[in-house]
Amino acid sequence: MRFGGRVAIVTGGASGIGAAFARRVHAEGAAVMIADLDVERGQALAAELGERAAFRSVDVADAAALETLAADTAAAFGGIDILYNNAGIGCYGLTPDLAIDQWRRVVAVNLDAVFYGCRAVIPYLKARGGGAIVNTASASGLHADYGFTAYNAAKAGVINYTRSLAIDHARDGIRANAVCPGPVDTPILTSGVDAIPGLRAQWEQVVPAGRFAQPEEIAAVAAFLASDDASAVTGAAIPVDGGLTAHTGQPD
């Protein structure tokens, strides 16, 4: 029960990694506020978890909505200890072909939203004497995926923003860390990959572990970073990628 008496917000909490994190920290005692655009799945997960769980429909690209989310969470559960900024979207497009609106939306959801969430929640963490922020970046923020121009840029931004949070707020008792998943078996990836015959097998070939991660494997690392087990860890960007970013790209 690492999270007994703690209150966590998770964005993108209706699906994939966020849902796995919500289940994990709730099972270990936390009260959980699930925030997502997907009302049906978000409400279903809150109902599944039962007591100490709630859902709010939020577009994380809307700074005012995140202010409201923070206030609602503190009102519902008495404060905030953990913020998991996890919502994200992908987008394929080389620079000459990418519409400016596409670039803006990808940066808004993947990067701006992390700033909005932290801006809204840090005063509540300070009021508790500290807390933990975890941000879902990506292996694509450490290195680049072909054609994922805006996504690569936004996720790299999340990693260095996390470092900035970590150093600026260490003396407030606030830790900030990023998880950097490689390919994970969730809709954001599989909806595209499984539409192209053979692409999953090609991915599995380039991941040294030879497989996609399951969302629970990413959530386990995020939960560690959110917990007191990681009390001396701040400013880290941890690959959770089956060895993908340890690899030079040399053919096997």
Bridge partners for 175 per DSSP: 132
Residue closer to ligand NAD, measured from CB, 40 or 171: 40
Q: Which of 28, 52, 59, 115 binds ligand NAD (CB under 6 A)?
A: 59
Q: Which of 228, 249, 245 is nearest to 6 (CA)?
A: 228
Q: What does DSSP assign to residue 244?
A: G
Q: Which of 106, 166, 176, 189 binds ligand NAD (CB under 6 A)?
A: 189
Residue closer to ligand NAD, measured from CB, 135 or 227: 135
State yes or no: residue 239 binds ligand NAD (CB under 6 A). Answer: no
State yes or no: residue 61 binds ligand NAD (CB under 6 A). Answer: yes
Stretch that binds ligand NAD, among 2-10, 85-93, 116-124, 194-202 (CB under 6 A): 85-93
The letter for the amino acid at 148 is F
In this structure, the number of other CB atoms found within 10 A of the CB of residue 201 comes to: 9
In this structure, the number of other CB atoms found within 10 A of the CB of residue 115 comes to: 17
Q: What are phi and psi of 155, to 5 degrees?
A: -70, -35
Q: Count residues binding ligand NAD (CB under 6 A).
A: 29
Stretch 157-186 residues interacting with ligand NAD (CB under 6 A): 181, 183-184, 186
84 is catalytic: no
* CA atoms of 222 and 240, how far apart (whole Å): 10
Q: What does DSSP assign to residue 62?
A: -
Binding site for ligand NAD (CB under 6 A): 11-12, 14-18, 36-38, 58-61, 86-89, 109, 136, 138, 181, 183-184, 186-189, 215
Catalytic sites, residue numbers:
151
